[in-house]
Structure 1
């Protein structure tokens, strides 16, 4: 696959070079028809642009130049072993965060489930430990009745 990728990039570079040469030839042909003063200004502007481009290339840090030299088809992720193949430990370590995420979600689900069981047990305990009139069971607001019944028991007059 790397050979195919390099063949494609070589074809692209050849096409770009041909295109650049044809554009340059067209501009050179048109340049001969321009008046002398315009041609001189264009030559001066071209020289200034070339000097600025050279200065920009020299000012570019070495790391950026080295990064540009890396082939475009390769990935930097999970390349640990010889030949660019990732090692088993590297693959296993990359699964660690996913495993922690799943375990965290399971813990949250278990905690929510446990909270619901405790709330239901609290209501059941309150229903079984107090004497309620039969109408309280059919009342839609029987939880409020239970809460009102428990509040005076917890607050003691001074």
Structure 2
């Protein structure tokens, strides 16, 4: 339903409601004293004089979109610029950004997988070359201990090492 039809429908419903209220008031007005009925008549005339006149729509309103960021509760909503959509360059830039995001996520997954493999390899090497019992490697803090030992052996800065 278009906006102008909705406005016309709302006006019709308001007018019907006003007519029903007026009919109820008129039905009980015959029982009121003359002074009170005159005051009511004057109040009705004033209300009719101040009532909102329906706007006459000469032409169909032009609806356009404005580029904006609107706030809806805790979220932000992006509005589009005028026209029917973002156009070719808007779609192309969106596709490039989405492709870049996908490539970045794949790269992060590969790097994290490699880091996990290196950690497991270090643990396996320490397990195979050390005299500790296998139960020591089930301790959650032992992997961190091995990492710090490996860091100190492989070239931690000289300020980290105590001088002998």
TM-score by length of 2: 0.47
Which has a greater percent of strand? Answer: 2
Structure scoring higher RCO (CA < 8 A, sep ≥ 6) equals 1
Which has a greater percent of helix? Answer: 1
